[in-house]
Chains A and B, each alone.
Chain A
Amino acid sequence: MSIPYLIAQWQLPQQGRLLYATLVVLGAFVLILGLVPLLQTLPPRGRRVLIVTITFLAGLFFAAEFFLPVDWTAIFPKDDPTRNFLTPAIQPAQNVLQIIGALALGLGTFGLVRLHMRNVVQKRAQWGYSVVLLVAFVTMAIFSILNTLSEKGVVTKTPLLERGFSILFDYTLVQLDAAMFSLIAFYIFSAAYRAFRIRSVEASILMFTAVVVLIGVVPLGAYISYTLLGLPQGPPPENADWWTQFLHSAGLPSIANWILTALNAPAQRAIEFGVGIGGLAMAIRLWLSLERGVT
């Protein structure tokens, strides 16, 4: 039985579970708080060695778990053939990642609140916006946490909580977020008007293709092709002559689909290969701490 398997199977004892869990959390918190000043006392070279080692081991774990042959029954006959000896540790690794994510979120929240509190206390320029942010932050956090707790049955879902969360989330946050993103459409319109100019052969090809796809992918393209022009829809019948075949593929949706699948897809594939190789190179550099600024 491997060590990762034992770690994965480890459970807190049922009796006094809450107490144990609190002690574990507090212990981890104290450990982390203690680790930070300890790391600060290390010379930069020692700190670098420590970070490089941890990064390398963490990367090695995920790479080894993914690349090691899955079927281990030859070596461990009683083991599950669908997993190797590192697989049981994936779950604890996810928990560690979640904890790191939560710590980063807490750190970000602390930084944000501290910055805006300072703005308000020192009455810096436009400190009113900081007040708005802090009030919105606290209100949303209270309602959101209470709503989550009510979903889990920890607190009662009162009409005030339900209505308050709905107003804040459904009718404020969601709408503002959607409105912010939709502004892009206006910039696209303005940019398209100014940029799509027939100044060269390449620009003409680009513009013509864009216009065909713009119309071909929306219902209007189908309406123009099949209702107004009366072109036949769908694939041509078997043994159709070349003219019938041409008519069946002359509709704007068919042309747009051909552009997307026959021209766009190969180009995308080439880009993705390039991005993939670049990503692999970058991952190796990060893993081996060769990237500048990692430590």
Chain B
Amino acid sequence: MQSPTIWQRMLSIDRRLLYLLLFVNIIVFLIAPIRMPASISPPVQKFYDEIEKLKPGDLVMISSNWSASTLAENQPQLEAVLIHLMRKKARFTFISIEAQSRDISYRLAERLTKTHGYEYGKDWAHFGFVPNLIVAIKGMVNDLPATIKEDVRGTPISQLEVVKGVKSLKDYKMIIDVTPSGTVPIWISYSPKGIPILYCPTSVMAAEAYTYLDSGQITGMITGAKGAQEYEQLLKIEGLGARFANAISFSHVLIIVFILLGNFAMFMNRAQARREA
């Protein structure tokens, strides 16, 4: 029996070898101190410009709906956005429709706010987990204190200084949705008109959101870890986004190289078969 040619072997390459290559590639470029400046995409620039318009004390609603599975993309986004909000001295409140996100976002915000001198209850608060976003938004539009009642620490909302005098979602200046799932159409449909909605999706969800960007229903968008890197660049900080985007960049290169190699092997194999025939 004839032994397989190099092209045939390439076409039936062991998938474990591919996995190993990708694994090594990710590890190397996560650790390697290579930093490539990103080109700022228009949706990220719009996101940044919209937050720049905030005045000190403006109230922002952050809908954090991600769990650990999309941490690599949503955590750098949320960190960069929080840093920007704190630089602008804006106040913010969180809400989650993802049970795990309630803890993740609360702990992340607690860690970041401490380093920026933000005080819980006065400058920010977490409203915790709500099981149904549509009903929660509709409730908050009509009567926010009656809908939320208390924060994650069990403090009645009436005692939270950050939302003192706030009657409904209409009193907010901005809504930011950090999510891997399709929650942004719900915010667009049910939130009060005139409040800008900013969106932080995972890369895979971003393609669907360009229609809302086009129509102006979303004011800005940070796409995955790569968008977070662009945002960090605008903020002139180096966070998780830059490191993650680096690994993603070179993973894309690896994928492209192997796609080209696969096609090359296919053509060479066909040519050889034709010659032999």
Contact = CB atoms under 8 A, between A and B. Distances in A.
A181 interface: yes
A219 B249 contact: yes
Interface string B22-45: 110010000000001111011000
Contact of A218 (B104, B136, B252): B252
Contacts of A217: 41, 203, 223, 226
Interface string A203-216: 00001000100110
B256 A215 contact: yes
Contacts of A170: 107
Contacts of B266: 197-198
A178 interface: yes
B139 A94 contact: yes
B273 interface: no
Interface string B224-258: 00100100000000000000011011111111101
A192 B253 CA distance: 12
Interface in A1-34: 8
A147 B132 CA distance: 24
A87 B153 contact: no
Contacts of A173: 68, 100
* Interface of chain B, main secondary structure: helix
A241 to B, nearest CB: 23
Contacts of A261: 210, 213-214
A226 B152 contact: no
Interface stretch (A35-43, A45-53, A116-124, A263-271): A263-271
A62 to B, nearest CB: 9
A132 interface: no
Give the bracket for the number of chain B residues in contact with chain A: 35 or more
B71 interface: yes
Nearest to B208: A268
A180 interface: yes
A272 interface: yes
Contacts of A225: 39
Given A153-B154, A174-B71, A192-B258, A265 B210 contact: yes
Interface of B: 13, 15, 18-19, 22-23, 26, 36-39, 41-42, 67-72, 100, 103-104, 107, 131-132, 135-136, 138-139, 142-143, 146-147, 152-154, 203, 207-208, 210-211, 213-214, 223, 226, 229, 245-246, 248-256, 258-259, 261-263, 266
